[in-house]
Structure 1
Amino acid sequence: MMPAFFIAHGAPLLAIEENMYTRFLNQLGKEWPSPKAVVLFSAHWESAVQKVSEVDEYKTIYDFGGFPEALYRIQYPAKGQKEITKEIEELFTKHGITYEVETSRGLDHGAWIVLKMLYPNADVPVIAMSVNPRLTPEEQYKVGKSLAALREKDILMIGSGGTVHNLGALRMVTDDGEVDDWALEFDRWLEKHLKSWDLEALFNYNTLAPAASLAVPPYGNEHFIPIFYAMGAAHNQPTAALIHRSYRYGNLSHSVWQFGGVEK
């Protein structure tokens, strides 16, 4: 059974950098058998109604500005898989999840940066999914849970975002390796409750976790919530392992969590 992953997509520069984190993601893509497809919930695709893509081949979206020209030359022409989109529709209908099919949107950088490092040849079909910050964490988890059966069909589930993602607090100029205490405190709290699959605490992270308003600012919770979609997808195998964590720019967390397939 394929696991579900929560993967931090970091800053767009990751796509043209070589560092500890990019090397980890390159290796991660080789450690599991190539999946039948990837279903990916991206922080950079927000919608009030759950969207599921149905395309033949994705265009590459450059949803950022002010970065080196090399970033805008990257192409990631992944193909869709309409049969799996239909399976997702059936599962959503079965579990009472309202959805809409999207037939033209490309892959945003929350999707293609992660996918390019895992599967650089763009040879694994992708079904792109939106996230809805207006839902409660419990409702987001339910969306992921409705798709848990896909993991039994060699389909990899990914939530792409960031556990600590506060653009106003970043120190892009220095990037000296120093990590803010509040970011560490939040991630350590999160680690404790993810490993114990403490849904009651996790669903109330905004009031219970230290420094939650800094780590997950009200205007930026879309980067945190993909973790609930990924967790939900492993509801039938509720185990969690932190398989990578590093930081850039003072507090930007590069956390990778594996849900399912983890020994207790």
Structure 2
Amino acid sequence: MMPSYFFAHGAPSLVLENNEYTDLLKKFAASAPKPKAIVLFSAHYEQSTQSIGAADKYGTIYDFGGFQDELYQMTYPAPGNRALSNQVADLFAKHGIDSVLDEERGLDHGAWAVLKLIYPDADIPVVALSVNRYLTNEQQYRIGQALGELREQDVLIIGSGGTVHNLRRLNWRGEGIDEWAASFDNWLQEKLEAWDTEALFRYGEEAPYAAEAVPTNEHFIPLLLAMGTGDKNRQAELLHRSYQYGNLSLSCWKFN
């Protein structure tokens, strides 16, 4: 069974960086079976109704400003897979989740910056999926759970976001790791490894410094979605965690 993953995508400039985290992403393809397709939830694809990418070939969205000129020259023309898009829609319908196909939208930086590091040739079909910040945490998990059987068909499911993502609290001098960020992530690690969904669904009330770590939830949602796809086996493994600017977490979780 193909594992699912959560990848933090940090800033758009991640794709240009060389550090331990980008090294992990660049070596990912060599350490894992090549999937027949990728289903990816991005924190930057927000819709009130669950949307499913159904483009023949994706355009590249530059949904950021003020970064290096080189980023605006990058493309990631991944092919779509209409049959898989339809299958995803059928799985959602089976689980009572309304969805729509989107033939127009390209890949935002939450998708292409990560994928370009992992599979730079853009030769694996992609189905991009939206997130909805207004659902409950349990509903987010159930959306992921609805897609779990795709893992048995060599489909790689990715959630792209960030566990600690508070741009107002960034320490631009980047000295050390803020205690509040590490405290939140340590709590999160404990609950994920124990597969304590009851606590995770209530992270806003139970986790230390939750308001600081997750001021808005769109970046946290992909973690719950990816976790939900692993509900059958319930095994979570932290592959990497580091920080930029004091508290912007770069983490990778594997769900077996």
CA positional deviation for 1:29 = 2.2
Q: For the residues of structure 1 that align with 2:64 and 2:108, how far apart are their CA atoms? A: 9
Provide the residue aligned with 2:106 in structure 1: 106
Provide the residue aligned with 2:243 in structure 1: 247
Contact kept, 8 Å, 1:53 with 1:102, in 2: the verdict is yes
Provide the residue aligned with 1:231 in structure 2: 227
Secondary structure of the equivalent of 1:129?
A: strand
CA positional deviation for 1:68 = 1.1
Provide the residue aligned with 1:183 in structure 2: 181
Secondary structure of the equivalent of 1:243?
A: strand
Structure 1 length as normaliser, TM-score?
0.96
Provide the residue aligned with 1:208 in structure 2: 206
Provide the residue aligned with 2:253 in structure 1: 257
Which deviates more from structure 2 when the two are superposed, residues 8-17 or residues 105-114?
8-17
Q: For the residues of structure 2 that align with 1:133 and 1:221, how far apart are their CA atoms? A: 6
Q: For the residues of structure 2 that align with 1:175 and 1:65, how far apart are their CA atoms? A: 21
What letter matches 1:32 in structure 2? A
Q: CA RMSD in A?
A: 0.7
TM-superposition CA deviations, 1:202-256 (whole Å, max 9, x none): 0000000000000001xx2100111111011111121000000011011000010
Which deviates more from structure 2 when the two are superposed, residues 190-199 or residues 13-22?
13-22
Structure 2 length as normaliser, TM-score?
0.99
Which segments of structure 1 move beyond 6 Å, counting only runs of 4 or more? none
TM-superposition CA deviations, 1:12-63 (whole Å, max 9, x none): 1111111211111111122111101110000001111100010110000000
What letter matches 1:83 in structure 2? A
What letter matches 2:233 in structure 1? Q
Q: For the residues of structure 1 that align with 2:34 and 2:83, how far apart are their CA atoms? A: 18
Provide the residue aligned with 1:95 in structure 2: 95
Q: For the residues of structure 1 that align with 2:222 and 2:169, how far apart are their CA atoms? A: 21
Q: How many residues align?
A: 256
Contact kept, 8 Å, 1:79 with 1:124, in 2: the verdict is yes
Task: Map 1:150-165 to 2 at 5 A.
Answer: 150-165=150-165
Provide the residue aligned with 1:222 in structure 2: 218
CA positional deviation for 1:194 = 0.1
Task: Map 1:1-264 to 2 at 5 A.
Answer: 1-172=1-172, 174-176=173-175, 178-217=176-215, 220-260=216-256
What letter matches 1:222 in structure 2? E
Q: For the residues of structure 1 that align with 2:119 and 2:232, how far apart are their CA atoms? A: 26
Q: For the residues of structure 2 that align with 1:143 and 1:167, how far apart are their CA atoms? A: 27
Q: For the residues of structure 2 that align with 1:197 and 1:21, how far apart are their CA atoms? A: 24
What letter matches 1:253 in structure 2? S
CA positional deviation for 1:175 = 2.2
Secondary structure of the equivalent of 1:43?
A: strand
Unaligned runs of 5+ in 2: none
In percent, how many aligned pairs have the same letter?
54
Contact kept, 8 Å, 1:30 with 1:118, in 2: the verdict is no
Q: For the residues of structure 1 that align with 2:247 and 2:204, how far apart are their CA atoms? A: 18
Q: For the residues of structure 2 that align with 1:151 and 1:102, how far apart are their CA atoms? A: 23
Q: For the residues of structure 1 that align with 2:228 and 2:19, how far apart are their CA atoms? A: 31
